Amino acid sequence: MNHSILTADRNTHLKMVAVALVAAIVLVVIGFSARVNNFGTATAQGESNGLVVKAGKLTQITTRDGSVAR
C-alpha cells in the first residue's frame, strides 16, 4: 500500500476515486431521504399552547446622568 499520493500507482488512485464516489452517493442518498416531502406545511406555522403576548405601544427609554426617563 502506498502512503503518499505522489508515489501512488494506478490501483491506489482507482481505490481513492471509488471511495470518493461511494461517499458522494451516500451523501446524496442521505440528502434525498432527509428532505421535506410536504412543502405546503413546511412554512412557519405558529401554534401556541400558552399565553400569547401582543405588542402594545412603543416605549422609549433614555438615561442621562443616572436618571431614567420614559
- Whether the per-residue pLDDT at 68 is higher than 70: the answer is no
Q: Domain limits at 7?
A: 1-37
Residue 24 lies in a domain: yes
pTM exceeds 0.85, yes or no:
no
In terms of Cα–Cα distance, which of 50, 68, 48, 46 is closest to 59? 68
pLDDT value for 27: 94
Domain count across the chain: 1
Q: Please indicate, yes or no, if residue 23 is contained in any of the structural domains.
A: yes
Establish if 19 belongs to a structural domain.
yes
The verdict on residue 4 lying in a domain is: yes
Residue 69 confidence class, pLDDT cut points 50, 70, 90: low
Q: What pLDDT score was predicted for residue 37?
A: 60
51 lies in a domain?
no
Residue 67: predicted pLDDT: 65
Q: What digits encode the pLDDT tens for the residues 3-53?
A: 777 788 888 889 999 999 999 999 999 988 887 665 555 455 556 567 777
CA distance 5 to 17: 12
Identify the three-state secondary structure at position 19.
helix
